[in-house]
Amino acid sequence: MSFRIKKLYIFMLKTFLPLFMMTFMICLFIVMMQFLWRYIDELVGKGLSIDVVAELFFYAALTMVPLALPLAILLASLMTFGNLGEHVELTAMKSSGISLVKVMVPLIVLLSGVAVGAFFFQNNVLPKSQVKMWTLLFSMRQKSPTLDIPEGAVYTQIPGYNLFVKRKGKDNDMLYNLLIYDVSTGTSSPRIVSADSGRLSLTPDKQHLVLDLYQGNWYEEMHSGASSRMGQDLYRRESFHDKEILIKYDDNFTRMDDESMRQQYVGKNIAELRRTIDSVQVKVDSTGRVISQELHSLPVVGVPTRRMTSRDGGRPVQEMVRPVAMKHPVDFDSIMKSLTPTSRSAVIDHAIQQATSVQQDNAFRGLTLNDDLYTIRRHGIEMHKKFTLSLACLIFFFIGAPLGAIIRKGGLGMPVVISVILFIFYYMIDNMGYKLARDGRWLVWEGIWLSSAVLLPLGVFLTKKAVNDSAVFNPDAWMNALRRITGLHQTRKLEMKEVIINEMDESQAVEMSKALKQSCESFLQRYHGRQGYVDYFQKGYDKDTLRLLTREVEDLVEYLSNSRDQMVLGKAMDFPVIRQLLTYHITNYPKLGLALAIFFPVGLPIYLVGQRHQHNLRRDIARTVNVCDQLVAILQGKYTRDMEYTSEID
């Protein structure tokens, strides 16, 4: 039996993979530019060779993969399904009976493999690349900058020397009007050298600078070992025709040993991180037990709490000292007043010294414990981050794919904007959780998994809406929801149909209009005036009656839309939209309504808004009665312009 991949799956993979590779390279380039701008000062002016810089960029690119991969998946999935929706290919698939989940199956399998690969990358490749990158970066920081002495400015890149050159030769070999401040022995006694000209060069081993000076002077303070005034005032002045100064200056690039970096949390895999956490935790627990035992053994008000006892010549055993039984409480103030001022001051000073000593000792131990706890948190953060990347890849796919199917916009326009906004939101939450976990304010797993916990419900919500073809981004749906909350009015728009299948029967329309009028009048008789404060919260307007009334109005308008008479269509648009607002009926539970009514600061604003909405509802229903009369008159040929009026409700 041969295994064949469905053409739909091959089509989806061919559509997604090129976009994924393109977006991944773009995202990686963007984060690499961020890395370059961040560390540009460490690279410029050091005379580094191309192979060293290329090696640094290679390891930096590997280190930036966890940042670029989720963004690339989000952008690629948005573009893929946005293109399918924009070109009506997704609609054709759904019309053929293929659900969105089935379309996503090959990409889910592919990205599941990417997530597994991302885990092994985080565990095996990323620690080594981070060790190499940081070792190279620290080595570059230690390298001395190349000699590029400017004209008319003080050059401070030679350790221990400040060099001023007024003018340089055309070939940059000769330097004219030099002024040198030698502070290699300290800033308190600098040596000052001035020369008419000079030449600066490197020794063949690039370990020293040779400064040949011509026609100059040397000024130096001479300090003797004695502290006498005469010894401090001595100085030396020397005039020379030519002079050679040898300055220690290492121009070679020395690569640091990466063994120390391997011992850091960035250079360890899960097993090594776990071993470090366990060993440091044992140390913390041991230190905590020692501190606890010492605190319990401290004397209380000068009375020891423990003592060593030995019975029958056996091994000494530490045991608790029973508290001293006191028949009457001790008045400490009276005891202190009975002492002489000198004794009282001595007692207070001794107590302060003991308290300060204990406080300083515990503060030092606390700092040591904080360092160990920080080490545990940093290693725990690095261990959890090896799992979060894999989950982030899947979460971003389940956000991007349904979102692209909903918005149906491809290309690099709308998808890029949405991807950047979502990724910035993810990055802010992830960074906030990281800092909370690093500082010990949250548990490590809570801070590191915060971004995944926030975005996972969003992915589930968007996937559910896309599968059910819900109008998440339909402005009409959002406007209707806003009208339900705020009570905004809604106008009807009807147009004459070019093709009418079911013609409107005038007698049937008259009967439906009279039935609707009767229902409206019955409602107005039942709710003829303003409801009281308590009745509003406990009863309100009956929702079932309003729902039936709304259905009658919509059925009549739908039936009238089949008319060929423009006057009938115009009158059908005059029917108000009977809305189902939340303020018509606050709650189905009378006791809860009574509680809201009693809670006056909340109940009063709700009551005032509700009364306004109920007033508008009664006005709309009265308007519906008038429109029914006018419609019947039109259908029966008795309509006159004098029948146009609007009923007002007090």
Report residue 479's pLDDT band, with 50, 70 and 90 as the boundaries: low
| Contacts of 636 by beta carbon, 8 Å cutoff, 6+ apart | 510
**DSSP H stretches of helix in 496-599:** 506-526, 533-538, 543-560, 566-572, 590-598
Beta-ladder partners of 194: 179, 217
Q: What average pLDDT does the segment 370-392 reach?
A: 92
Position 314 pLDDT exceeds 80: no
Q: In the predicted model, is pLDDT for residue 475 greater than 60?
A: no
Q: How far apart are CA 60 and CA 142, in angstroms?
A: 19
Q: Which amino acid is at 372?
A: D
Alpha helix locations (H) across 468-500? 475-486
CB distance 598 to 607 below 8 Å: no
Q: How confident is the model at residue 489 (pLDDT cuts 50, 70, 90)?
A: low
pTM, full prediction:
0.65
- Over 50: is that where the pLDDT of 122 sits? yes
Among the ranges given (339-343, 388-392, 478-482), the one the predictor scored with the smallest mean pLDDT: 478-482
Q: Which residues of 592-619 are buried (b: 16+ CB within 10 A; e: fewer)?
A: ebeebbeeeeebeebbeebeebbebbbe
Return the DSSP state at 528: -
Question: Residue 151 phi/psi, 5° resolution?
Answer: -90, 135
Cα–Cα distance, 56 to 590 (Å, whole number): 71
Predicted confidence at residue 650, as pLDDT, reads: 38
3-state DSSP call for residue 413?
coil
Q: Is the pLDDT of residue 384 over 90?
A: yes
Q: Transcribe 95-146 into DSSP letters.
A: HTT--HHHHHHHHHHHHHHHHHHHHHIIIIIHHHHHHHHHHHHHHHHHSPPP
- Buried b / exposed e over 157-190, threshold 16 CB at 10 Å, is ebeebebbbeeeeeeeebbeebebbbeeeeeeeb
Q: What angle do CA 544, 538, 586 make, to 5 degrees?
A: 60
The contacts of residue 86 (CB under 8 Å, 6+ apart) are 408, 409, 410
Work out the average pLDDT over 573-592.
83
The yes-or-no verdict on residue 228 having pLDDT over 80 is no
**Distance, CA of 52 to CA of 35 (rounded, Å):** 16
Asked if pLDDT for residue 231 goes beyond 60, the answer is no
Q: pLDDT band for position 88 (50/70/90)? A: confident
Provide mean pLDDT across the span 36-65.
Answer: 85
How high is the pLDDT of residue 119? 95
Picking from 353, 355, 399, 405, the residue whose alpha carbon sits closest to that of residue 81 is 405
pLDDT at residue 202, as a whole number: 76
* DSSP at 303: B
Q: Are strands 208-221 and 235-248 parallel, antiparallel or unpaired?
A: antiparallel
Q: At what angle do helices 543-560 and 600-635 cross, to 10 degrees?
A: 30
* Of the candidate ranges 66-70, 323-327, 351-355, 381-385, the one whose mean pLDDT is the lowest: 323-327
Angle at 143 between CA 142 and CA 148, to 5 degrees: 135
CA–CA dist 467, 471 (Å, integer): 11
pLDDT value at 144 more than 70: no
CA–CA distance from 524 to each of 4, 411, 571, 612, 643 (Å)?
69, 56, 22, 16, 21
Q: What was the pLDDT predicted at 474?
A: 58
Residue 43: which of 128, 145, 158 has the closest Cα? 145
520 residue type, one letter = C
Phi first, then psi, for residue 488 (nearest 5°) are: -65, 145
Read off the pLDDT band of 24 (50, 70, 90): very high
Average pLDDT, the chain: 83
Q: How far apart are CA 166 and CA 448, in angstroms?
A: 57
Q: Is residue 21's pLDDT more than 90? A: yes
Structure tokens at 443: 């548990």
* Residue that the structure tokens 């190499």 belong to: 132
CA distance 348 to 345: 5
> Sorting pLDDT into bands at 50, 70 and 90, what band is 301?
low
Question: Is residue 300 pLDDT above 60, yes or no?
Answer: yes
Q: What's the CA gap between 625 and 513, in Å, rounded?
A: 9
Share of the chain above pLDDT 70, in %: 87
Given a cut of 70, is residue 419 above it in pLDDT?
yes
pLDDT at 110: 94
- Tell me what the mean pLDDT of segment 174-183 comes to: 86
Q: How far apart are CA 317 and CA 237, in angstroms?
A: 78
Long-range contacts of 496-500 (CB under 8 A, 24+ apart): 496/564, 496/566, 496/569, 497/561, 497/562, 500/562, 500/564
- Region 389-407: mean pLDDT is 91
pLDDT band for position 233 (cuts 50, 70, 90):
low
Two tokens, residue 245: 């100064």
How do residues 527-557 score in pLDDT, each as one tens digit?
Answer: 888 888 888 888 888 888 899 999 999 999 8
Q: Which of 170-184, 481-495, 548-562, 603-617 has the highest mean pLDDT?
A: 548-562
- pLDDT for the residue 646: 43
Average pLDDT (283-300) is 79
The residue that leads in pLDDT, 13 or 153, is 13
CB-facing half-sphere around the CA of 420: CA atoms within 13 A: 10
- Pairing status of strand 153-155 against strand 191-202: unpaired
> Is the pLDDT assigned to residue 225 strictly greater than 70?
no
Q: In this structure, are residues 66 and 126 in contact, taking their beta carbons and an 8 Å threshold?
A: yes
